[in-house]
Amino acid sequence: MDTLLAVHSFIRWIIMAVAVVAIVKFAVGWAANSLFKGMDRGLASGFSGLMDLQVLLGLVYFIWNGIVVTGFPMYRILHMITMLIAAAVAHLPSRFKALNDKLRFQYSFLAILASLILVFIGISFLPNAW
């Protein structure tokens, strides 16, 4: 189980890196009135996919460790709920296909930023998280 927790903890840094790249790319695209292209869809999809992987690993760890080892303390429940909401918000850019490119950049930027803020909040519930 320690390996699962280590992988779960490592993936958060990959998520942060992809989120920063996506936020910068979407902000530049929004400001420059660019076309929303394949790389932009790929960044949004990559971010949401990594969030899904992180949620899956976190849920497996939450259930296994909760049943076998520590139980379900409130900070772990709050962390899980916040991260599930963050993962749901990370999927919002895929819902913006019908919008024009400027709005797609704007809303995708805001969705990734909101998801990243929720991730920081969720991590802050954990003792010794930082």
Identify the domain containing residue 25 by its residue range: 2-124
In this structure, is the dihedral angle defined by the CA atoms of residues 119, 51, 37 and 95, taken in order, positive or negative? negative
Please list the rounded mean pLDDT of every run of 10 residues in the chain (130 residues): 91 95 96 93 96 96 90 94 97 91 94 96 88
Say if 129 falls within a structural domain.
Answer: no
Non-local (6+) Cβ contacts of 14 within 8 A are 50
Quickly count helices (H) and strands (E) in the chain.
4, 0
pTM: 0.91
Q: Rounded CA gap, 122 and 78, in Å? A: 7
Domain count, the chain: 1
Say if 11 falls within a structural domain.
Answer: yes
Say if 130 falls within a structural domain.
Answer: no
